[in-house]
Structures are given as C-alpha cells and as structure tokens.
C-alpha cells in the first residue's frame, strides 16, 4: 500500500467527519450545559434540603424553593419530608404481606408488674426534628422508633399492676411511652420527634378475657347491691320520721284534751260551788236524792226492813 493511497483514505475520512465535527462540538457544549443546569433543584414546602459537598455536609437546612448546588459529583442534595407526620404501630408484624398478626401473638404480649400477660398495641406519630441527624446519625431511624417503643412499653407495663394497666394506667402509659421513646431516640441522636403515643388496644389475652369481664360485672353487681340498700334506707328513714311526727302530734292532742277537760270540769265545779254555798244543806240532800233517783231505777234492789233485820238477828243469835 502506497503512502499516497493512505493519504487519500485519510482525506476521505476527514471529508466524512468534517460535518460531524461541528455536531460533536454541539453535543459536548450541550452536555456541559445540561450538567451545569442539573444543579438546580426544588425543595417542596414540606421538605428541607440537605446539601453535601464531596460527602461533607455544607448546608443542613435549605428552605423550600428553587436552589442551586454544584453538579454531580461535587455536590448532592437530600430532601426528606420534614413536615410529614409518620405513623408507626407497635404490636403489628412488620413482615411483608402479613399486616396484622393473630390477636394473641407473642409480639404484642407484655408482662405486667404483677406477672399478668396483657396485649398492648400502641400507635406512635413522629416527625423529623433534626434533618442532618435524621439522615446521617443512625442507620434506620424509622426502625429505631419501632423497637425503642417496644422496649419502652415493656419497661412501662412492667412497672404497673394489671389493674392499673387496664384502668387508670392508660393515660400514664401513653405519656410515659412518648417520654421514654423520645429519651431513647435522643440518646441515639437520630433526630426524630415523637408527637403522640396512642394506645390502640390494651386487653387481656383471649384465654383469660372472660374472667376479666366477670370482674367488671362483679363490680357492677356490687354497685347495684349497694345502691339498692341506699334506696331502701331512703324509704325506711322518712317513714320513721313520719311515724315520729304523728306520735308527737297525737301526744300534743292528748295534752290539749286533758287541759281543756280540766278547765271545763273546774269551771263547772266552780259554778256549781257558787250556788251550793248559798244553801249547802238543801243542795246536799237534793243532789244526793237526785243521784239516787237516777241510779236507782236501773239496779236490782232488795230492801230489808229494819224490824226484820232485828228479828233475823235474833233468830240466828247474831249480836248487834
């Protein structure tokens, strides 16, 4: 192959590539332009931007809006949704495809302070409070919330008796859970704020739930018996008061009666006395005889003559 022939081929190639050259340049410029422009990014209203330059944090709190960072691979940005409220339910299986496990599954059972088994489900709501910490301090902050909550419930329920857990302890459990989970999470520095902890379910396992219900019934029975006694007391006492009042009233009536009678009797006596004193002898006899007249007719009477009396006495030898 001669040199001239070689040159001719090269010439041909140049001829072919010549129009491509400007196209290539355009391509290169276009690529660079796209690369430079790729640094523009938008932080949405519920997000916060965190910019890293060569892996190192340079701006941990980019507000919502349009911003620019140096294009890859110099800078990159993360935009977690910091205003989003995340929910995590403790007591639900996290296995895929099996959302809710058996009611009595081991996962929700806890031991109370008096060694009773109780089922607890709690729902936590949380949000991001420190974005760089949320991103860089712990491996899986959302998972940490779940297991920290499980540990907190174990600790809290273990301090309460089963009666407390089922009655007055509910609010306490919620508040304490929130407090303790927050404490745990802060100790890991995972940048999460627990907003609320809500008990969704708290009840004894199904093997013993009947006996717990019976206790509630017994309590109701007790209240019922007591209130019945109270109502019968409320009948007995007013009735007794009524009787008392009538007793006193009748005594008062007796008193008035006696006094009025006495007053009447004495005024009659005084009236009679007045007249009597004017002629005592006459009235004495008259009153005596009148009485005899009044009483005499209704009696059976035997009148013994004084002569006969004397004779009989003589016969029977009775001395005078």
Partner 1 sequence: MKKGLFSLILAGIVVVYVAYTMFFSLDETKIGIILQFGKPVRIINEAGLYWKLPDPIQTKILFDKRVLVYDPPASEFLSGDKKNIVVDMYLCWKIIEPLKFLQALRDRSGAELRLEDIVSAEAGAIFGSYPLAAFVSHNEGEMKLETIMKSISEKCDQSARQQYGIEVIDVKMKRLNFPDENKPSVFARMWAERERIAKKYRSEGQEKASEIRAEANKQKEIILSEAYEKAEKIKGEGDAGAMRIYAQAFSKDPVFYKFLRTLQSYEKFLDEKTTIVLPGDMELLELLEKKGTGATSHGDK
- Backbone φ, ψ for residue 311 (5° rounding): -60, -50
Taking residues 184 to 223 in sequence order and writing x for each that binds partner 1 by CB under 8 A, - otherwise, the string is: x--xxxx-------------xx-xx--xx-xx-xxx-xxx
- The answer to whether residue 82 forms part of the interface with partner 1 (CB under 8 A) is no
Footprint of partner 1 on 131-160 (CB under 8 A): 132, 135-140, 143-144, 147-148, 150-151, 154-155, 157-160
Q: Which residue has the tokens 């459990």?
A: 173
Cα distances (angstroms) measured from residue 257 to each of 206, 254, 262, 264, 271: 77, 5, 8, 10, 21
- The answer to whether residue 7 forms part of the interface with partner 1 (CB under 8 A) is no
Taking residues 299 to 318 in sequence order and writing x for each that binds partner 1 by CB under 8 A, - otherwise, the string is: xxxxxxxxxxx---------
CA pair distance 253, 250, nearest whole angstrom: 5
The answer to whether the bond into 73 is cis (omega within 30° of 0) is yes
Q: Which residue has the tokens 């007796």?
A: 254
Footprint of partner 1 on 245-284 (CB under 8 A): 245, 247-248, 250-252, 254-259, 261-263, 265-267, 269-270, 272-273, 276-277, 280, 284
For partner 1, the closer CB: 98 or 300: 300
Q: Contact with partner 1 (CB under 8 A): which of 67, 88, 130, 164? A: 164
Q: Please give the helix or strand (H or E) that residue 42 lies within, else none.
A: strand 40-43
CA pair distance 283, 281, nearest whole angstrom: 6
Q: Which two tokens stand for residue 231?
A: 């109502």
Taking residues 95 to 134 in sequence order and writing x for each that binds partner 1 by CB under 8 A, - otherwise, the string is: -----------xx-xxxxxxxxx--------------x--
Footprint of partner 1 on 10-69 (CB under 8 A): 52-57
Q: In the complex, what is the shortest distance from the CB of residue 233 to partner 1, in angstroms, rounded to a whole number?
A: 4
Please give the size of the binding site for partner 1, defined by CB under 8 A: 119
Q: In the complex, what is the shortest distance from the CB of residue 293 to partner 1, in angstroms, rounded to a whole number?
A: 10
Closest CA to 149 of 171, 120, 191: 120
Cα distances (angstroms) measured from residue 97 to each of 121, 137, 142, 189, 276: 19, 30, 19, 32, 126
């Amino acid at each position: 192959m001669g040199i001239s022939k070689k040159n001719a081929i090269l010439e041909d190639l140049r001829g072919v590539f010549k129009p491509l050259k400007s196209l290539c340049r355009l391509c290169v410029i276009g690529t660079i332009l796209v690369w430079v422009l790729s640094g523009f990014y938008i932080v949405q209203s519920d997000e916060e931007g965190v910019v890293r330059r060569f892996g190192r944090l340079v701006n941990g709190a980019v507000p919502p809006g349009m911003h620019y960072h140096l294009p890859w691979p110099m800078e990159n940005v993360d935009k977690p949704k910091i205003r989003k409220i995340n929910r995590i339910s403790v007591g639900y299986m996290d296995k895929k495809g099996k959302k809710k496990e058996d009611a009595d599954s081991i996962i929700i059972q806890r031991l109370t302070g008096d060694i009773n088994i109780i089922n607890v489900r709690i729902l936590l709501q949380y949000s991001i409070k420190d974005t760089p910490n949320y991103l860089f301090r712990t491996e899986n902050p959302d998972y940490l919330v779940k297991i920290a909550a499980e540990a907190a419930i174990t600790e809290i329920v273990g301090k309460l008796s089963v009666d407390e857990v089922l009655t007055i302890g509910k609010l306490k459990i919620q508040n304490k859970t929130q407090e303790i989970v927050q404490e745990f999470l802060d100790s890991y520095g995972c940048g999460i704020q627990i907003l609320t902890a809500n008990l969704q379910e708290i009840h004894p396992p199904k093997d013993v739930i009947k006996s717990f219900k019976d206790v509630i019934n017994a309590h109701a029975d007790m209240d019922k018996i007591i209130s019945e006694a109270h109502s019968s007391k409320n009948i007995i006492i007013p009735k007794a008061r009524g009787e008392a009042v009538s007793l006193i009233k009748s005594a008062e009536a007796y008193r008035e009666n006696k006094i009025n009678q006495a007053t009447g009797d004495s005024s009659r006596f005084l009236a009679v006395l007045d007249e009597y004193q004017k002629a005592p002898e006459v009235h004495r006899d008259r009153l005596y005889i009148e009485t005899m007249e009044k009483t005499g007719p209704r009696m059976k009477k035997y009148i013994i003559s004084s002569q006969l009396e004397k004779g009989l006495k003589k016969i029977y030898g009775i001395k005078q």
